[in-house]
Amino acid sequence: MWAARAARARLLAERYAASREILLFYAELADWQGRAAGPPEDLLPGLVDLVRRAGPATLRDAAGRLDRLPPLDAPPPLSFFARAARQPVIVSPCPWCPDHPQAGCLVPRGEGAALELVCALCLGRRESPRGRCPACGEERLAWYSAPEFEHLRVQACEGCQTYLQLVDLSRDPAAIPEVDELAGLPLDLWARQRGYRKIQPNLAGV
């Protein structure tokens, strides 16, 4: 699956110029995660080397200050290292599954679509009620999209002011939610400019 994620990221990098840098870095990361083996603490040096070679400036700066693997509740950008070093060996379902979705995906089901949430740590999926905020359970939701992202949309909660990106698999069956969500960086910026905060930042810290 890591190879498929890397290939998808490279494909999307050609399609979405605004997200090209982070997608190409994620492709490198997925390649590395596919080869990684051993305890997360032992994987950290290799991850730091990758970041120093190919990562964005914020991660390179953070890599220079690391002397141990950060805890999972570390703030960005340290949270990147905490999750990226654990993902190759984490088992689904993991402790984060019920609470920390990185993205949602709309999966064709009968004549409609079911909502599945993607865990930000193990990348496993679980079904969730449509029309309810995954963070607070309220039903005061709004949806936003942009023509250039036909299979992506933002689901924002007017109650708790959080948002989540949704990947519509009926519009693009080849999509991989945890990768395609990275392509929607301009949608993230749009949501943040309007005062919403993401339920769980992605590996890019957004």
Q: Are residues 123 and 148 in the same domain?
A: yes
Q: Are residues 51 and 119 in the same domain?
A: no
pLDDT for the residue numbered 38: 95
Q: At what angle do helices 2-15 and 20-35 cross, to 10 degrees?
A: 170
Give yes or no for a contact between 179 and 8, defined as CB atoms under 8 angstroms apart: yes
Q: Cβ contacts of residue 179 below 8 Å, gap of 6+?
A: 5, 8, 9, 12, 23, 26, 30
Residue pointed to by tokens 């999966």: 107
Q: Cβ contacts of residue 193 below 8 Å, gap of 6+?
A: none
Instruction: Tell me the pTM.
Output: 0.94
Cα–Cα distance, 117 to 162 (Å, whole number): 15
Q: Are residues 42 and 111 in the same domain?
A: no
In a domain, 169, yes or no: yes
pLDDT for the residue numbered 203: 84
Q: What is the DSSP string of 37-58?
A: -S-HHHHHHHHHHHHHHHS-HH
Q: At what angle do helices 20-35 and 40-54 cross, to 10 degrees?
A: 150
Q: Are residues 125 and 176 in the same domain?
A: yes
In a domain, 95, yes or no: no
- Kindly report, residue by residue over 87-121, the tens digit of the pLDDT: 999 999 999 999 889 999 999 998 889 999 999 99
Q: SS3 of 4, please?
A: helix
Cα–Cα distance, 157 to 191 (Å, whole number): 11
Cα–Cα distance, 32 to 99 (Å, whole number): 27
In a domain, 90, yes or no: no
- Kindly report, residue by residue over 65-85, the tens digit of the pLDDT: 999 999 999 998 999 999 999
Q: Are residues 153 and 70 in the same domain?
A: no
Residue pointed to by tokens 């070679």: 53
Q: Cβ contacts of residue 105 below 8 Å, gap of 6+?
A: 115, 116, 118, 125, 166, 167, 168, 169, 175, 177
Cα–Cα distance, 89 to 84 (Å, whole number): 10
In a domain, 46, yes or no: yes
In a domain, 206, yes or no: no
In a domain, 204, yes or no: no
Work out the percent of the chain whose per-residue pLDDT is above 90.
Answer: 91
Q: Are residues 127 and 177 in the same domain?
A: yes
Cα–Cα distance, 99 to 97 (Å, whole number): 6
Q: SS3 of 181, please?
A: helix
- Kindly report, residue by residue over 143-190, the tens digit of the pLDDT: 999 999 999 999 999 999 999 999 999 999 999 999 999 999 999 999
Which range of residues forms the domain containing residue 62?
2-84
Q: Are residues 116 and 55 in the same domain?
A: no
Q: Are residues 76 and 105 in the same domain?
A: no
Structurally, how many domains does the chain consist of?
2
